[in-house]
Amino acid sequence: MANTRSAEKQNRKAQKNRLRNAHVLSTLRTSVRKFREAAASGDAQKSKQELAAAVRQIAKAASKGVIHQGQAARRIARLTKAASNPAPRPQ
């Protein structure tokens, strides 16, 4: 329980930020999942579109401070690498 008005305000801000961060992370995970599904299906055009959307979401999350800049760079690099080396399709 907060003892001062400033501490109460900080708690309110923390709750808002936590909700915003959870939404941004959820959206980011969804876009990455969509890219992975498109890449697994072998559809190059859709995979390229989903990669662009995922990279945009990751960069946006990093700029808002939801994830660290280094983590964003690592995720983008791994997704780009996965896009350039598609998984072999089972026959």
pLDDT value at position 42? 87
What is the reported pTM? Answer: 0.84
DSSP structure string for 5-38:
HHHHHHHHHHHHHHHHHHHHHHHHHHHHHHHHHH
Is residue 52 assigned to a domain? yes
Number of domains in the chain: 1
Tokens of residue 29, six digits: 């995970």
Side-chain half-sphere CA neighbours of 20 within 13 A: 12
Is residue 89 assigned to a domain? no
Range of the domain at 24: 5-84
CA–chain centroid gap for 69, Å, is: 12
- Here the CATH number for the domain that contains residue 57 is 1.20.58.110
Is residue 80 assigned to a domain? yes
Is residue 91 assigned to a domain? no
Q: What is the mean pLDDT of each run of 10 residues along the chain (91 residues)?
A: 92 96 97 95 92 97 96 97 76 59
pLDDT value at position 87? 62
Is residue 78 assigned to a domain? yes
Is residue 50 assigned to a domain? yes
